[in-house]
Amino acid sequence: MTDSNPSADGELERSIREIGADLASAFPSNARHPLRALDSRAMDLASADQELKAALFRFVDVTPACRSLDDLARHLREYLREVPDAPPPLAAAMRIADVKAARPAVGAAAAAGVRHMAHRFIIGETPASALGVLRDLWNHGVASSVDLLGEATVTQPEADRYAARCDEALVELSRAERDWPSRDVLERDGIGSIPRTNVSVKISALTPLLRPDAPELGRRDAAERLRPLLRHADELGAHIHIDMESLDSREAVLDLVLEVLGEEAFIRGPSAGLVLQAYLRDSPEQLERILQWASSSGRTPPLTVRLVKGAYWDHELVQATQHGWPAPVFEVKAECDRNFEALTRRLLEARPAVRVAVASHNLRSVAHAIAHSRRLGGQDRDLELQVLRGLGDQLQDALASRGFRVRTYCPVGDLVAGMAYLVRRLLENTSNESFLHEQARGVPLEQLLAAP
Ligand SMILES: Cc1cc2nc3c(=O)[nH]c(=O)nc-3n(C[C@H](O)[C@H](O)[C@H](O)COP(=O)(O)OP(=O)(O)OC[C@H]3O[C@@H](n4cnc5c(N)ncnc54)[C@H](O)[C@@H]3O)c2cc1C
């Protein structure tokens, strides 16, 4: 357990600052700042103007459904009309969009903008077309997890298609990755070997029946599609990671994963993992449940726990407010960050019953995990750090240059399937409290690395 000895805590803080400053100095260059990926002026303006932000989100949301450029320009104009004081460049675009003959040009520019932005986050339409990027990452000392875009399916054929796409990705990736050069830091920790092929899977895409009022039905239906994936991953030596989504499916997902991975057929493999969301107030109890399972099931290789803050913060608050429920998430960012650190420590102390993956773009959260791991006497290879493609590129390069195992989460799919993903990334990063936003505003490093 962590002692509350003030001099030991002071030592830990010093070590966090040192590690954080060293990583910051290894960031490739200011010219490639992550928020640039969200695209310059529109996003800067959106951060400062809530109504414009709402209009841009609605626009991004509707882009894939537009049938023509004319259609797209019309939507852009309609959404921007709702913004009381449109900034000059947008006001000009609206005036042009009023002229029918000019609409396709405005539409083309807008569509290109959305596509450009999406390509920063989405590495290809199919696993085959993503192989070049994945190999490049590997050559630069970066592992990956491929996420087949698509969430919350509504029909059985859709769920079948998603499962088939995941299966094809397992086959395609493991075939290609076999020929990659060996990279010890990415392929081995103190427990043993780590698969090259890593696919992230969403349970809500594996079944249309995942509803909070009938969790058993969804669980059973999803398990039918999850088992063949696990069997195939085991044959191919690949890793399957189950993402966590909004709170209304959390219990069902956790029950399902622990139940299926505990079955006789899967107790010796494949390598698999799940996600813990630190923004949830009850996450410490959830972690205890996971750790209890990990030590009592005796499963090998041990479960990988990816610790995140959580991507559905606004959604959870709105849901709770609408139903008159108490907020299930922390409402003060520092409380969420402190909980993230407490969970990091608990997880690191639970090794080797679990493998630990800390997924964050927050330099303080990451430096804290590294410092505490070292303080426990752990080797750096016994901690994995994870980032999202397009947002964590700089941190990814810095971590790789310092010899850490870093894994980048790489979405693959078409623009339509990617919209929900893109909108979440935009929402998250134009929030004033986001670490990346603070970093982009030029908050001094010392402040960024201060204890939450
Ligand atoms: C590799 C990887 C995989 C991921 N997989 C998942 C997944 O399966 N499921 C999932 O839900 N998320 C997932 N995420 C997203 C993650 O949950 C975060 O949304 C994202 O990483 C931003 O957090 P941060 O630590 O990088 O940045 P920070 O800026 O430090 O934190 C931002 C986060 O803090 C929280 N927050 C914001 N405002 C407040 C507030 N006022 N009070 C309390 N908390 C607040 C929110 O969770 C917000 O996302 C993943 C992230 C990575 C890097």
**pLDDT digit string (tens) for 270-300?**
999 999 999 999 999 999 999 999 999 999 9
Inter-residue contact 123 to 389 (CB < 8 Å): yes
Nearest one of 205, 353, 334, 198 to 278, comparing CA atoms:
334
By mean pLDDT, which of 174-178, 303-307, 423-427 is the weakest?
A: 423-427
Coil vs helix vs strand at 357: strand
Cβ burial of 33 (10 Å; 0-12, 13-18, 19+) is middle
Nearest to 417 by CA among 198, 118, 130: 118
Mean pLDDT, range 240-247, rounded to an integer: 96
In this model, does residue 108 exceed pLDDT 50?
A: yes
pLDDT of residue 37 exceeding 60: no
Rounded average pLDDT over 92-96: 68
Ligand 1 contact, 362 CB (< 6 A): yes
One-letter identity of residue 82: E
Q: Ligand 1 pocket, 308 CB below 6 A?
A: yes
Residue 448 has pLDDT above 70, yes or no: yes
279 pocket-lining for ligand 1 (C-beta < 6 Å): yes
pLDDT of 26 over the 60 cut: yes
Gap between the Cα atoms of 190 and 302, Å rounded: 12
The CA angle 231-152-283, to the nearest 5 degrees, is 80
Most confident of 4-18, 117-131, 361-375: 361-375
Element (H, E) at 359: strand 355-359
Q: Which residue's CA lies nearest to atom 37 of ligand 1? A: 333
198 CB burial (10 A radius; 0-12, 13-18, 19+): buried
pLDDT value at 4 more than 70: no
Report CA(421)–ligand 1 centroid distance (Å): 13
> What percentage of the chain reaches a pLDDT higher than 70?
86
Q: Is 421 touching ligand 1 by the criterion CB < 6 Å?
A: no
pLDDT for 177: 95
The listed range with the strongest mean pLDDT (110-124, 203-217, 385-399) is 385-399
Provide the pLDDT confidence category of residue 253 given band limits of 50, 70 and 90: very high
Close Cβ partners of 5 (under 8 Å, ≥ 6 residues apart):
none
Element (H, E) at 241: strand 239-242
Pairing verdict, β 198-201 and 239-242: parallel
Q: Residue whose CA is closest, atom 8 of ligand 1?
A: 243
pLDDT band with cut points at 50, 70 and 90 for residue 93: low
Overall average pLDDT of the 390-399 stretch: 93
- Give the C-alpha separation, 93 to 102, whole Å: 10
Output 415 or 166, whichever has higher pLDDT.
Answer: 166
With a 6 Å cutoff on the Cβ, whether 365 touches ligand 1 is yes
Q: What is the pLDDT of residue 2?
A: 46
pLDDT over 90 (residue 76): no
At residue 217, φ and ψ (nearest 5 deg) are -60, -50
Q: How would residue 240 be classed by pLDDT, with cut points 50, 70 and 90?
A: very high
Check pLDDT > 90 for residue 109: no
pLDDT at position 1 is 43
Q: β-pairing, 355-359 with 239-242? A: unpaired
Which of 344, 351, 347 has its CA nearest to residue 302?
Answer: 351
**Pairwise CA distance, residues 71 & 65, whole Å:** 9
Q: DSSP secondary-structure letter at 147?
A: E
Q: Of all residues in the chain, what percent are helix, strand and coil, respectively (each to 5)?
A: 60, 10, 30
Which secondary structure element, helix H or strand E, spans residue 250, and what is its range?
A: helix 250-261
Tokens 């000895």 sit at which residue?
Answer: 5
Q: Which of 198, 309, 399 to mutate to test the pocket of ligand 1 (most atoms within 8 A of CB)?
A: 309
Q: What is the mean pLDDT of residues 146-174?
A: 91
pLDDT tier, 97 (very low <50, low <70, confident <90, very high otherwise): low
Residue-level pLDDT at 43: 58
pLDDT higher for 90 or 325?
325
- Our CA dihedral for 312, 315, 316, 318, rounded to 10 degrees, sits at 160
Question: Is residue 337 over pLDDT 90?
Answer: yes
Averaged over 29-46, what is the pLDDT?
53
pLDDT at 154: 83
Q: For position 121, what pLDDT does the model report?
A: 85
